[in-house]
Amino acid sequence: MERMSTLDAGFFFVEHENVPMHLGSLALFEGPPPDHEDLIELFAAKLPLVPRYRQLVRTAPLQVFRPVWADDEHFEIGYHVRHAAVPAPGGMTQLREMAARIFAQRLDRARPLWEAWLLEGLKGGRWAILSKVHHCVVDGIGGNDLMTAVFDLAQDAERPEAAEWEPEPEPSALDLVAAGVRDTVTWPLRQLASLAGLVGQPLPARDEVLGFGRGLTASAGRLTVPSAASLNGPIGPHRRWAWATASLSEVKEIRGARGGTVNDVLLAAITRGFRDLLEARGELAEGLVVRSLVPVSTRSQDEQGVVSNRISAVLANLPVGEPDPLRRLALLRAQMDDLKRTSQAVGAEILTGMLGFAAPTLLALGSRAAFSIPQPLVQTVTTNVPGPRFPLFLLGRRMTRVYPYVPIGDQVRISVAIFSYLERFSFGITADYAAVPDVGILAKGISRGLAELGGHAAGARRG
């Protein structure tokens, strides 16, 4: 048995009927669609690369201990690799609507927490793979590792043979309790040992400590800026899903002309999208912001391929009330530079680790409470996950596009994920179905934001 980390357990505990906590993607391929049975055989052969895909979650009574991962003795690959057809006429609108309905469905918690759907019926003979994996299994960066493992790196890659697999016996209730008691004793000791390791390291310089304190003060000050009210509120079980795209060369040209990072440019485009949305709702005002939780990967180079969550987060204000696109970009650049300079993400990661001292029952209650109480401080989540710059293949078919999906939480009605593949960025926008019927305005606004920044970059180059 392997016990969940504190962060993984938090993602597991917060899920309920209206808040499915899985990540996902929709990948489009060229060539004729494969046979469903061939796809099942391929996934079965690749499963040894991702053992978590054959494990399920076991919890102790009353959730007094953190959940554990255990082999599924009754694992059936056919339950997880599914098959469906996109309704006629098979355009992108029909594909998005179907994907939104599938993404809205919770994963079966009595089975390993993942699904892959073969979707046929697209115009031009194309087809797609929709994938879902629970957030307690992996974060966005780790999900990229899994995708790379499942797909092939060459069109003529040798097709592996499925290996025999013998599951470990599932733990009994007594085993879960006994292991939980041991973990209750040893987990705080391991946490203290890790803290002792930190203590043994050189103390930060005085300027670093003062900088971190100034960063906390600045972050607190950003929480006092008026934010958009309509982006918070109750959510239901259904979802809308939209996307926008951008070329890597276009984004790099903007960055080269105006400075900052690629992520700064992408956030500026998203800011324009929210500005258009709020303007259409009659809510836009000077000085208004949309506060976004921005996940930050803390995964080191030697942790690539680790199937678990290695993330922290910072809060950033998207300056939707600023009408000048270059000024919006400059404000975001200064803000993100300050958050990195004052190590705010590192502080959040340490706090998450300290939560490991809390009893799992309290962690479960606290996680649910954090997602259910009104959240005027956070209006959205914007996450940027770098994907492979090389082509991926599935059964000899080349993947041409991929669009990301991230969940929304209680009281937060919109989230935005960015994923890069080859020479393009894709923005996947998840929204509550009832509260955000105008999600298309946000998607089009992101494209307009990139276009206006690109126009300014071209003008600067000519000048």
**Distance between CA atoms of 280 and 277, rounded to whole angstroms?**
5
Q: Rg of the chain's alpha carbons, rounded to an integer?
A: 23
Helix (H, G, I), strand (E, B) or coil at 29: strand
Task: Report strand pairing: 290-297 vs 380-385.
Answer: parallel
CA-based max dimension of the chain: 74
**Distance between CA atoms of 150 and 306, rounded to whole angstroms?**
15
**Amino acid making up residue 21:** M
- What's the distance, CA 95 to chain centroid? 21
Tokens 């993602």 label which residue? Answer: 11
Name the active-site residue from 16, 36, 135, 238: 135
Establish whether 135 is a catalytic residue: yes
For residue 57, what is the enclosing H or E element? strand 55-58
Residues in CB range of 441: below 8 A, 6 or more apart = 273, 276, 277, 280
What's the token pair of residue 190?
Answer: 């391991």
Nearest to residue 97, comparing CAs of 439, 447, 448?
Answer: 439
**Distance between CA atoms of 236 and 327, rounded to whole angstroms?**
36
Nearest to residue 28, comparing CAs of 107, 114, 96, 101?
Answer: 96
Q: What DSSP string runs through 411-426?
A: TB-EEEEEEEETTEEE
Let me know: does 270 contact 453? Beta carbons within 8 Å.
Answer: no
**Distance between CA atoms of 393 and 389, rounded to whole angstroms?**
13
Let me know: does 408 contact 22? Beta carbons within 8 Å.
Answer: no
CB atoms within 10 A of CB 306: 15
Helix (H, G, I), strand (E, B) or coil at 108: coil
Q: Which residues are catalytic?
A: 135
